[in-house]
Structure 1
Amino acid sequence: MTEVLQKLIQLLDLEETRPDRFQGQSEDLGFKNVFGGQVLGQALMSACKTVEARSVHSLHGYFLRPGNPNEPIEYQVDRIRDGGSFTTRRVLALQAGKEIFTLNASFQVDEEGYSHQFEMPQTSEPDSLLSELEMRRKVVDFIPEKLREQATRDRPIEIRPVAPLNYFKPERREPFKQAWFRAVADLPDDDVLHRVLLAYASDFGLLGTSMLPHQVTYYTRSMQVASLDHAIWFHRPFRIDDWLLYDMDSPSASQGRGFNRGNIYNVKGELVASVCQEALIRKKT
């Protein structure tokens, strides 16, 4: 296992400070605030640590305040319900005594049932594409100097966009995009770990889908951009150390908000998870 992937796993594996209370450290990825996927993954991990013999099938989170990447985060888990088939947990994330994120997660015992899905869309094979990291390193001289180190360092999740975008000089596009992603090394057979890592990775790139028609990105100086909420539904078992296709679209943007959706498929064409997110995409005046 690579050092950067091991570091991410340690970041997501929280310390239990007292019953149903956990503490997580933060990582600076070069954003102004804590990366939303980190808080989402840590909150899910804290909920999973209070549940046995059941898998998370859905989660809904709200980002309440920006987090500080230089400070730890406390996660408080409430055991809302332990039913015959389903278990519900509520998680509150706090930093410096203030709520920054809240999560509701539902868990289910494994069972058989009816099965259908949308077909996986046609797309390029991952082996034919360059990773975001490879592309950044090829154009490192064009990246603003203050962003170069963060933009070109090794990553625990490899992302290969199907139609790469120049984030500093974006062209206008329809609100659709695709990317393959996977962990950069083999992982143990731990279903919780794979689902937590998918939650973490699901926040990469999704928000930007709603900005494609407007020729702006996170790096556009006039933009104020932030995730407002995030929801995931886990449909089928998967491994995040195998390639997964993230097929994203944005049906609507209005009133300073962009709505984004994503379907995640494995290489067999099985739909393993679905994601929705609303984001602030405000043009500052």
Structure 2
Amino acid sequence: MNNAQYDEFKLPLLPYGEMTDGLQGHLTNFPEVPPDFDFGAYADEAARLASWLKWRSETIGLIAHNLWPTWIPQSEDWQGASKDKMTALTKTDIHLTIKLWHSMLKVKPVTPSPSADCPQHIKFYRQEDDGDWFEFYTHYDTVLDPKILHLLREVYDTRAFDKCSSAHLQFKVPFQRPRPFHAAFLVKISGLRPLRAISSGSPSLCSGHALQALLGIGAMVEHVVLNKIDIHPSSHLALRQLAVDIGDRRVFAGVHYPSDNIASWIIAMRLANRVFRTEKVKQWLWTAILKQSKVYDTVQADDVYKPALSVLKDSVAGVVPLEE
């Protein structure tokens, strides 16, 4: 195909398709309802499942109306009020992703007490793609007592799953969003250079890394709050920074769109009321998104994101961000 033919040809934005076998297995074998969802509120599991399905359907509807439509296999078409803005959203997303790729990948995270040899975002991204998310945490925070860090890692390992289970995969199925490196060709934008991603074998929306990081680190914060563990304010800042950086780095790397993270934030903030035993966790997480996410800072001024950001702000109505 020559340049003239490429300029004339058009294809619709197509659905992603099937996930990898491993992720399909997670979707099949993990509990459909996160174990901590409405914990203790129902006498039987059937009622809790019905509550989860209702919540999930409502959340899917909000995202489909305001951000990205769902894919209907029977009619082989997209459905939702956001359908008419798919291309505009995708183009804006890809342009911002390219901008963030150039400006953020090879800079260091911003934390109050970093290590002297703190790596650039790109090294953290490669570790987090399919490895231990806390392997390099001491580069973020040289103040936190190693014994408390060990405790928090144990909490993450044992409790993060209970907050999320397979929720991120359950949302990926109906939205079927193609990855940025699939869509860039269809909307005729060059310059996207995604990094290698072992864990990207699924639809793009929502971002699993963004959602799981918020809910998983939220489980750590819940433990801190409920057990009155004293942590220095600078360590809270560092933990909040990590909570949003894990998802943001997927955008910097070109494997997620900025709006994938918006979807993850909406899900996390709506889910926080149902899986955490103290409202302080939601306040802590919203502070991280609002004040410390580079992606949030980048998208908040663009009109194409305003409907979805309005949904996000509705989900945190009455939540006052923490003072830094």
Q: Which TM class, normalised by the smaller chain length?
A: under 0.3
What TM-score results when the alignment is normalised by the length of structure 1? Answer: 0.27
TM-score by length of 2: 0.24
Q: Which of the pair is proportionally richer in helix? A: 2
Indicate the structure whose relative CO is greater, using CA pairs within 8 Å and at least 6 residues apart.
Answer: 2
Who wins on radius of gyration, i.e. which is larger?
Answer: 2
